Amino acid sequence: LKVGGSVQITASHNPAVYNGLKISRKGALPVGENSGLRDLEDMVYNGTVTITKSPGKVVDKPVKDAYLDFLRAYVPDLTELDLSIDLSHGMANLLAKDLLGEHHHYLYDHFDGTFPAHEPNPLEEENCKDIKAAVLENKSDVGVIFDGDADRVMFIDEKGRFIQPDYITAVIGEYFLAKKKGNVLQDIRTSRSTTEYLEKLGGRVTTWKVGHSYAKTKMKEIDAIFGGELAGHYYFKDFNNCDSGMLAALIVLQVVAKLHAQGKTFSSLIDTIVTYANSGETNFKLQQKDEAMAALYQKYAVEQTPLAVLDFDGYRIEFADWWFNVRKSNTEPYLRLVAEARTEALLAEKVGEISRIIKSFS
């Protein structure tokens, strides 16, 4: 459209009463807390409003067909695949059947902003029960589930297992690295399994802060070919460094179709990627978040000798056989913990140890 900015009305995976504005400036760069949003807030509350003498005009510009044309270049041959797809009563309904066809096993395939079936947040296991059951009942090769505004997507393998989204970063990263070696962006919570898998393929992996405004800006800064987050956001150089749940889904379906043609399953690829025991993200609701983080830093970064300490989004403290990240939520009153270790036993030991420290501040 060659415009100087954009505004999207969305509540993401939340009910409509939480609708807000997602703002971008020229070049599709996000306007976030540290990149213009505070300036806008100051202008709204303290600026002087001057009514123009020559008002502009509103022009309707349909973009759906152009977006579909862009996405169709990524649609694989799906004739041999059995797919179960949960559209979560959300915006994926606008595109899914145009791209994938009508004949798959669709769940909640009409718009309903009250989201009667389940909260449109596939990161919560409770919301994936129906798609898991559908995959097993239909003997599908893969299950796909979108969030409410379809900027995120997550996957279920043919065994009915939810695939942790940072492992999908490895799947999509491999797709792009096979075409051209380059930089890949991951967030600070990402599994070592993913990092090591991508590095073996020739990827140069950069770790950065959690959040779309940080990711999109860093993607452009390092000229990344692709980026992924634990929350299920996937960012593409070929899509102006922006995230698209539908584009991510199409690329994963390409991978699954190729595996199927080789007589392989989606789960076999995931099992190749995953080489560490991972806790997933655990939330602790407490008031003394800063004090808890300081105590963890003292114990693990000061009193011990870690291999590395990343401190740009909470702390990620790395040891030879395990690591953890603890960070404050940007949007909720939680302290979030992710940990990973070479063995389940070591993981259980460290998660228990860290959890006790955190809970002592509740």
How far apart, in whole angstroms, are the C-alpha atoms of residue 294 and residue 338?
Answer: 17
Q: What are the two backbone dihedrals, phi and then psi, of residue 20, each rounded to the nearest 5 degrees?
A: -145, -170
* Residue-level pLDDT at 287: 86
State the catalytic residue, choosing from 6, 12, 84, 244.
12
With residue 7 as reference, give the H or E element that holds it: strand 5-10
| All CATH 3.30.310.50 domain ranges in the chain, comma separated | 277-359
Q: Catalytic annotation on 360?
A: no
CA within 13 Å, CB half, 358: 22
Q: What number does CATH give the domain 67-163+245-273?
A: 3.40.120.10
Residues of the chain with CATH 3.40.120.10: 67-163+245-273, 166-243
pLDDT of 196 reads 99
Q: How far apart are CA 112 and CA 321, in angstroms?
A: 46
Domain covering 277-359 assigned CATH 2.60.15.10 in the classification: no
Q: Looking at residue 12, what is its pLDDT? A: 80
DSSP secondary structure of 79-110: TT--EEEE-TTSGGGGTHHHHH-S-SEEES-S
Mark out the alpha helices in the chain (DSSP H runs): 38-46, 64-72, 96-100, 129-138, 165-177, 192-200, 212-222, 245-261, 266-273, 289-297, 344-359
User: How far is 175 from 226, CA to CA, in rounded Å?
Assistant: 10
Q: What confidence score (pLDDT) does residue 147 get?
A: 97
Within the chain, which residues score under 70 in pLDDT?
330-331
What pLDDT was estimated at residue 356? Answer: 98
Q: Are residues 156 and 162 in contact, defined by beta-carbon separation less than 8 angstroms?
A: yes
pLDDT (0 to 100) of residue 117: 97
Please give the CATH topology (third level) of the domain spanning 166-243.
Answer: Alpha-D-Glucose-1,6-Bisphosphate; Chain A, domain 3 (3.40.120)
Cα–Cα nearest to 237, from 221, 250, 253, 256: 221
CA dist., res. 152 & res. 122, Å (int) = 9
pLDDT at 170: 99
